[in-house]
């Protein structure tokens, strides 16, 4: 639980950071800004994925993949079907950032930032934290 809580706190700090930086405006054509935002989004996604894997294991469903962790949390009632769709999208997004970074969709990243869609990850993190309980 302590690790899940630490990851949740980190994810929430990243969300606050993104809020602060997005409120200043952004230009993804600027390499420095692009790297800043991509890195923060990647860290946020990875923290959520790590939380999901740890929580699934604590709930008796250790998983072999990131996607399986989300499915396990859905089976346990932690994630709604909509939450699971979002989680799967986060896993895919993280994989693109890590492995296919040259093919990252800048328009989509701009939409995520402008619409502050990254905040949804904080909501999922809090659901995981609440469900994980104190072992």
Encode pLDDT of 34-87 as tens digits. Answer: 999 999 999 999 999 999 999 999 999 999 999 999 999 999 999 999 999 999
Dist. CA 6–CA 79, nearest whole Å: 20
pTM of the model: 0.94
Helix runs in 24-80, H state only: 31-58, 66-75
If one counts the domains in the chain, the total is 1
Task: Supply the range of the domain harboring residue 42.
Answer: 2-132
Residue at token pair 């799967």: 88
Q: Helices in the chain by DSSP H: which ranges?
A: 2-23, 31-58, 66-75, 81-99, 106-114, 119-132
Distance (Å, rounded) from C-alpha 65 to C-alpha 12? Answer: 24
Supply the CATH number for residue 26's domain: 1.20.120
Please state the φ and ψ torsions of residue 61, each to the nearest 5 degrees: -130, 70
């Amino acid at each position: 639980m302590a690790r899940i809580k630490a990851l949740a706190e980190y994810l929430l700090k990243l969300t606050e950071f993104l809020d602060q930086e997005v409120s200043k405006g952004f230009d993804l054509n600027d390499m420095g800004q692009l790297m800043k935002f991509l890195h923060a989004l990647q860290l946020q996604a990875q923290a959520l994925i790590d939380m999901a894997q740890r929580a699934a294991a604590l709930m008796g469903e250790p998983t072999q993949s990131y996607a399986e962790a989300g499915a396990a949390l859905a089976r346990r009632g932690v994630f709604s079907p909509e939450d699971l769709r979002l989680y799967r999208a986060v896993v895919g997004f993280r994989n693109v950032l890590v492995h296919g970074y040259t093919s990252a969709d800048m328009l989509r990243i701009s939409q995520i930032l402008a619409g502050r869609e990254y905040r949804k990850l904080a909501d999922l993190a809090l659901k995981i934290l609440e469900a994980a309980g104190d072992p």
